Amino acid sequence: MMKLKNQTIVLTGASSGIGAEAARIMARKGATLCLVARREEQLKEVQQAIEAQSGTAFIYPCDLSDNVAIDACAARILDEHPRIDALVNNAAHSIRRPIEQSFARLHDYQRTVQLNYIGAVAMTLQFLPRFVQQGHGHVVNISSLSTQIPIPLFSAYLASKSALESFTRSLEAEMGHQGVSTTVVYFPMVRTPMSSRTAIYKYMPMMHVEKAAGWIVEACEKRPARIARPMGKLGSVLLAAAPGPVTRLPQPLFRGMDKMLANRLKKKR
C-alpha cells in the first residue's frame, strides 16, 4: 500500500461533495493537495478546513469545460510542484433525460462529454510527461456502477464515463511499463448536490459522501485496477457474456422503481 504522507495529489471537483471530503481525508494522512474546481470561494473554504487541521492544500480555480483553461491550470501546478504523485479526475456533470426528449438537444451530450471525458483526458495528458520523467504516477478516473449494469435515462452521462474507462485501460496498457498506473472507481448513486437535483432520488438509498470519499483515498493508497461493488463486478461479467438479455430484462424493474419513487414524492407533498 502506498502511504499518502508527503504525496502530492491533484484532485478535480474538489470544491464540494465527494472531492472535498476526499481532500480532507488525504490531507489528514499527510498528503499535499492541489485542489481544482470552478468555484474559487468554495475551494478556499476546503483549503481553510484542511489548513485548520494542520494539512497542506493549494487551490487552482479552473473551468474544466475549457481546454485552454485546463492547460493553463496544469502548467501552473507543474511549475509550482516539482513532483506530482497522483491525479484524481473527480469532476463530473450528469444529466437525467430520456433519449426521446433529447432529439433536439445534442448540446446535452456535447457538454457532458466535454467535462466528463475530454476535460479529464486533457488534464491527464498534461501530467503524463511528468509521470514518465519521475518513473511513477497514478491516475484515478471516476466512473459509475451504471456502466456495469445498464440503466435508462442517463445516456449522455454513461457514454462519457464509458469513454473515460476505455481511455483509462488504454493508458495503462500503453504506459504501464513507464510507471503509469490507473484506477477506475465505479460509484453507485451517492448523496451529493448533483444527485439531489433529481427530486425523486430523495427517497432512493444512496452511498454516503464519506464512504465514497474513502474509495478515492483507497484508489490512491492501494492503486487497484478498479474499485466497485460486488454487484457491479458481477454486472460487468454478465454484460460481457450476454449483453442483449442483461440490457433488456431489468428495464421493467427500473421503470417500476421510478414510478414508485415518484409516487412517494407525490404523497409527501
- Cell numbers given for 250: 431489468
Range of the domain at 160: 8-268
> Which domain CATH number covers 240?
3.40.50.720
CA–CA gap between residue 13 and residue 18 (Å, rounded): 8
Question: Does some domain include residue 190?
Answer: yes
Question: Does some domain include residue 208?
Answer: yes
Question: Does some domain include residue 1?
Answer: no
Query: Could you list the pLDDT tens digit for every one of the 269 residues in the chain?
Result: 779 999 999 999 999 999 999 999 999 999 999 999 999 999 999 999 999 999 999 999 999 999 999 999 999 999 999 999 999 999 998 888 889 999 999 999 999 999 999 999 999 999 999 999 999 999 999 999 989 988 888 899 999 999 999 999 999 999 999 999 999 999 988 877 665 565 556 656 679 999 999 999 999 999 999 999 998 999 899 889 999 987 887 776 666 666 665 566 566 65
Taking the alpha carbons of 122, 48, 7, 214 in that order, is the dihedral positive or negative? negative
What is the gyration radius of the CA atoms in the chain, in angstroms?
Answer: 19
Question: Does some domain include residue 2?
Answer: no
pLDDT at 256: 63
CA–CA gap between residue 248 and residue 136 (Å, rounded): 42
- CB neighbourhood size of 231 (10 A): 13
Closest CA to 47 of 35, 64, 37: 35
Question: Does some domain include residue 133?
Answer: yes
Residue positions annotated with a catalytic role: 157
Q: DSSP label at 135? A: T
pLDDT at 238: 87
For residue 15, how far is the Cα from the chain centroid? 13
Question: Does some domain include residue 87?
Answer: yes
Domain total of the chain? 1
- Cα end-to-end distance, the chain, whole Å: 49
Taking the alpha carbons of 233, 138, 188, 66 in that order, is the dihedral positive or negative? negative
Question: Does some domain include residue 218?
Answer: yes
- CB neighbourhood size of 222 (10 A): 11
Enumerate the β-bridge partners of residue 19: none
Q: Are 205 and 145 in contact (CB under 8 A)?
A: no
Question: Does some domain include residue 3?
Answer: no
pLDDT at 200: 53
Transcribe 181-240 into DSSP letters.
EEEEEEE--B-SHHHHTSGGGGGS--B-HHHHHHHHHHHHHH--SEE--HHHHHHHHHHH
